[in-house]
Amino acid sequence: MAAALQINVHTLTHQHEFHSKPISKHSPIWPTIRCSAAAATPSSSRRYTITLLPGDGIGPEVISVAKTALQLAGSLEGIEFGFKEMPMGGAALDLTGVPLPEETLSTAQQSDAVLLGAIGGYKWDNNEKHLKPETGLLQLRKGLKVFANLRPATVLPQLVEASTLKKEVAEGVDLMVVRELTGGIYFGQPRGFSTNDNDEEVGFNTEVYAAHEIDRIARIAFETARKRHGKLCSVDKANVLEASMLWRKRVTAIASEYPDIELSHMYVDNAAMQLVRNPKQFDTIVTNNIFGDILSDEASMITGSIGMLPSASLGESGPGLFEPIHGSAPDIAGQDKANPLATVLSAAMLLKYGLGEEKAAQRIEAAVLDALNKGLRTGDIHSAGYKLVGCKEMGEEVLKSIEHKIPAAV
């Protein structure tokens, strides 16, 4: 299937939603955002295999809601799903002794898309590094060959009061963080422990990027900005770090391919400050692995809750990985207190980015907004005057809305 960029970035209020047309499962998709058959209609098979990785903590609770949402939205649009639930993270450690069993990775690689709940918990905090749940996530990303993480941060009108920032600062925020996912200090070599000349224990890591790693994520970011508002801010620490100096050099060079995009550069410490001071100045942000990890979490809190935000991790071919950006929240696990909406919206991103099933994705997005419009709030986004509900009730209301709300035509 011929690949062509078909993505429009919009908000979850249907002013800035991600839209993509049907894609080929294993066609090359970079440097564009996601591949599609131009002017194609959905595949006649309309059957997809989804690997579910509930993980730990609240993961199983929120995955259960998202799975049911996928099933219902799919059935209404003539889509059939085959789900394969596999262990990962702490759950896999307890079951198999490793955070990412070979069977789990193989199943994920052979699926059309992967939906992850959450991993980690106090129980495994003192494990050796190779036996930590988080190691399983890094291995999964590597095994799926995903390198671009897209994290939207949009302040919904229904939740502007939930932001910790003043209303005039938070209102209207709509930005996207494009994070490089497989390079940098999290993976760089050498790394480890040693002793110095004073016989002190030393821990060390390496921040390293090759030009091709920077070039491919830069193109993703430029393409994303092109489909948004035409502004891209590259965040680095080029006044101190050689890896950032190369990052800025390569991003600047790639900019010549995108004369219609306004490129700016910002040091990461200033970017962290500006995200709180004036977040509306940002449209699309591109940055390295560790800076993106931090800044995307900061940006998420502008929206009022980390429990509202989905993410997509994509590679050059094969299935994408879709997950909420919140953690496993072991303190509230099993208490029906989790907010399932980030995982439900991750399922919507899966439909759009992973499968090109636009109408089914719109059903889910519209249902989330409808539930919020009804005044339903989980504890993390609750405020006076709204109805406090648990994970199950919020999920039930979303399902009701999926069935009865008809999305606008694509």
Question: Which residues are known catalytic residues?
Answer: 186, 237, 269, 293, 297
| Residue 169 CB partners (closer than 8 Å, separation 6+) | 163, 277, 278, 279, 280
Is the previous residue joined to 87 through a cis bond, with omega within 30 degrees of 0? no
Closest CA to 346 of 163, 5, 141, 116: 116
Determine the angle formed by the axes of helices 211-226 and 242-254, rounding to 10 degrees. Answer: 50
Q: How many CB atoms lie within 10 A of CB 66?
A: 30
Give the burial class of 67: count Cβ atoms within 10 A of its Cβ; 0-12 exposed, 13-18 middle, 19 or more buried: buried
| SS3 state of residue 300 | helix
| SS3 state of residue 190 | coil
| SS3 state of residue 407 | coil
**Which conformational region is residue 295 in: left (phi greater than 0), alpha (psi within -120 to 50 degrees), or beta?**
alpha
